[in-house]
């Protein structure tokens, strides 16, 4: 996941992993999420308060951890950043 995040960061011209994750979360459709049962590692990123609230709400509705949604958003990240 860290390598995928780094590749997405560079491909989209972001300076930080946090910026990449915020972008991925902003464009991810949480309604289409289905949880997986794989082992994962944990990273720390900064997310604005409103985006974090939306993320927590979606996690609660899907009955999954916030980190699962973050991973799904990164895996689904589109290659070009909108300005």
Q: How far is CA 74 from CA 30, 57, 82, in A?
A: 12, 18, 16
Per residue in 52-74, pLDDT tens?
999 999 999 999 989 889 988 88
Helix axes 66-75, 17-27, angle to 10 degrees: 90
Instruction: Compute the distance between CA of residue 59 and CA of residue 73 in angstroms, rounded to an integer.
Output: 12
Question: pLDDT class for 79, splitting at 50, 70, 90?
Answer: low
Rounded distance between C-alpha atoms, residue 49 and residue 63, angstroms? 20
Residue ranges per structural domain of the chain: 2-75
The predicted pLDDT at position 60 comes to 94
pTM: 0.52
Assess whether pLDDT exceeds 70 at residue 18: yes
Quote the CA–CA distance of 61 and 16 in Å, as a whole number: 29
């Amino acid at each position: 996941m860290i390598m995928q995040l780094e590749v997405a960061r560079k491909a989209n011209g972001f300076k930080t992993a946090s910026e990449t994750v915020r972008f991925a979360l902003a464009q991810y459709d949480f309604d289409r999420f289905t949880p997986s049962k794989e082992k994962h590692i944990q990273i720390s990123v900064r997310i604005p308060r409103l985006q974090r609230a939306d993320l927590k709400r979606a996690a609660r509705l899907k009955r999954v951890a916030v980190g699962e949604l973050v991973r799904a958003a990164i895996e689904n990240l589109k290659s070009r950043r909108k300005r």
